Amino acid sequence: MAILPEFKTILYATDLGGEHTKPVFAAALSLANQYDADIIMVHVVEPMSSAMQAVVDTYLTEFDAKKVYQDGMKSVLETMKARLKNFCDEELGSHSTQNVHVKEMLIASGKTSEEIVRVAEEHDADLIVIGKSTRTGVVGSTARRVPRHTNIPVLIIPNN
């Protein structure tokens, strides 16, 4: 007899891209409610592109450029943390989720797929829930990469 998986910690990865994120979060909430699991929410902020870094480096002194990188990223991370909390509060309020506990809301910086896997492994997630894509009908690059780089089950939810 096969042993059914137990999901006690679900990592919900979001790009906070608008309405298309709601069905993915709803699926994570439903699973968390069904399994009496905790949810850890994560949003990954990609670093500044090399082209943008070249522009900053061209027009600013080394000291000023470092300050832009540090202060700019800090500001972006704080803004995204607030957006993640607002999204969570709004969505929890619109669903009947008695047993769901959002344990943590995290903002990470780096390559999206790598950071999702890192955070999932760091928090001993039993399941990763992500959206299929943000703009097209095909599976997005993050949804393709995450399952390749982890042994944690990944549930990809259509969101368009």
* SS3 sequence of the chain: CCCCCCCCEEEEECCCCCHHHHHHHHHHHHHHHHHCCEEEEEEEECCCCHHHHHHHHHHCCHHHHHHHHHHHHHHHHHHHHHHHHHHHHHHHHCCCCCCCEEEEEEEEECCHHHHHHHHHHHCCCCEEEEECCCCCCCCCHHHHHHHHCCCCCEEEECCC
Give residue 86's pLDDT band: very low, low, confident or very high (50, 70, 90).
Answer: confident
Considering the entire predicted model, what is its pTM?
Answer: 0.76
- Domains held by the chain: number: 1
Residue 117 lies in a domain: yes
Residue 112 lies in a domain: yes
Residue 49 lies in a domain: yes
Residue that wins the pLDDT comparison between 142 and 51? 142
Residue 124: give its domain's CATH number: 3.40.50.620
Residue 3 lies in a domain: no
Residue 14 lies in a domain: yes
Residue 2 lies in a domain: no
Model pLDDT for residues 65-78, shown as the tens digit of each residue: 676 666 666 776 67
Residue 28 lies in a domain: yes
pLDDT of residue 102: 79
| Mean pLDDT value of segment 56-85 | 69
Residue 153 lies in a domain: yes
Checking if the pLDDT of 124 tops 90, the result is: yes
Domain that holds residue 58: 9-157
